[in-house]
Structure 1
Amino acid sequence: MQLLTLLTPLLLLILPASAQFQFFEQMFNGQQGGQQQPQNMGSDSAWYQQQYENAHCDKYLCPHTLSCVHFAHHCPCAFPAVEDKVEFGDGSMACVSKGGWAEGEASRKIELARKGLL
């Protein structure tokens, strides 16, 4: 009984300290183990070239999205939320940043530039 009386205060000091250290260990070390930190992509084009070479397409492979379409002007824009697709009469297309407040303003400016008016 006397041993239990001596150990009780000691346990009351050790258990909270142990729990506190576990909390800090999880807070600082647990983030590294549980979540992968994103890594920067390389500055060369090797990754993209590998993806391009491994893409299978029996029609036209869009170079900027790696989509397989029938014709080059059918390629989608990579970021349609912020890009407008402009198709040219020669069967080509371009994706340009959306401009201004009006729908299709980027396309209108490109057409004006093609006519020499801008």
Structure 2
Amino acid sequence: MKTPSPPSPLSILFTTLLFILPALAQFQFFDQMFNQQQQQQQPQNAGSDSLWYRQQYDAVHCDKYLCPQTLSCVHYPHHCPCAFPELEDKVELDDGSMICVSKGGYKAGEAGRKIQLARKGLL
């Protein structure tokens, strides 16, 4: 009976790589996945110019009136929403436009009343 020959170094290397490579690939996959999540979580400063805003503005399709503050598409300028309604009161002006005014702790509608008084020269 013939005794089996010892495995060659090449076959040992091949067998070892057969087990190691899938494990390395799996670790690389998880490493990339977690690194991408960490990169997405890091905030980045906005640019100091208006390029981002202009790109967003140019990309919006609106066949009516495009609100410059929120990029909302509405029928009339005074229909524009405030960007931060929880912090701002919307005040419609007599000329058909609108402005958003900080609530600043006033009672509901108080900012609008003060603006109307100021426009009349009473405040």
TM-score normalized with structure 1 length: 0.70
Aligned-partner SS, 1:76: coil
1:89 counterpart letter in structure 2: D
Q: Which stretches in structure 1 are left out of the alignment for 5+ residues?
A: 1-31
For the residue of structure 1 that corresponds to 2:100, the secondary structure is strand
Alignment correspondent of 2:64: 59
Q: In the alignment, which of 64, 68, 75 is matched to residue 70 of structure 1?
A: 75
Q: Distance in 2 between matches of 1:81 and 1:99?
A: 11
Matched, 1:48 2:56: no
Q: How does 1:1-118 map to 2 (within 5 A)?
A: 33=35, 34-35=37-38, 36=40, 37-118=42-123
Residue type at the aligned position of 1:103: A
Q: CA RMSD in A?
A: 1.8
Question: What letter is aligned with 2:78?
Answer: H
Q: Distance in 2 between matches of 1:48 and 1:77?
A: 17
User: How many residue pairs were aligned?
Assistant: 89
> What is the CA–CA distance in structure 2 between the aligned matches of 1:109 and 1:101, rounded to whole Å?
10
Code of the residue aligned with 1:82 in structure 2: it is L
- TM normalised by structure 2 equals 0.67
The offset of 1:99, in angstroms, is 2.9
| Percent of aligned positions that are identical | 75
CA deviation map 1:21-53 (0-9, x unaligned): xxxxxxxxxxx8232211011010000001001
SS in 1 for 2:89: strand
Q: Rg bigger for which structure?
A: 2
